[in-house]
Amino acid sequence: MGAPAVTWFCRNGHIVLDIPHGYIAEFPTECPHCDSKEFRFETEWSDPEYTKPIVPVKPIRYEHKIIEVDVPVYNVNKLFKRRSK
């Protein structure tokens, strides 16, 4: 068993980094979608077999970017409230 999968979200609900099982990655200093510098993570976020996610897997909306890409935005309210105490 290697390192768990970890998904990092910014304060505005964008996925900043999604690291699969057993991988490591260089962490960005800001969100590539909105320049936020506040991050929280969930382990095994997209795999309900391991845990019930704090952040719902269904996006609450999509933001249309100039480069013609729709960036999903997730509801991270519970994640940021839970870990800020």
What is the pTM for the complete model shown? 0.76
In-domain check, residue 22 = yes
In-domain check, residue 1 = no
Break the chain down into helix, strand, coil percent, rounded to 5: 10, 25, 65
* pLDDT at 21 (0 to 100): 86
Residue pLDDT, tens place only, 36-84 = 999 999 998 888 787 788 999 999 999 887 777 788 999 999 988 865 5
Domain count, the chain: 1
Q: How far apart are CA 82 and CA 66, in angstroms?
A: 33
In-domain check, residue 23 = yes
Range of 46's domain? 6-83
Q: What is the sign, positive or negative, of the torsion defined by CA atoms of 6, 8, 14, 16?
A: negative
Q: Which of 39, 31, 34, 18 is nearest to 83 (CA)?
A: 39
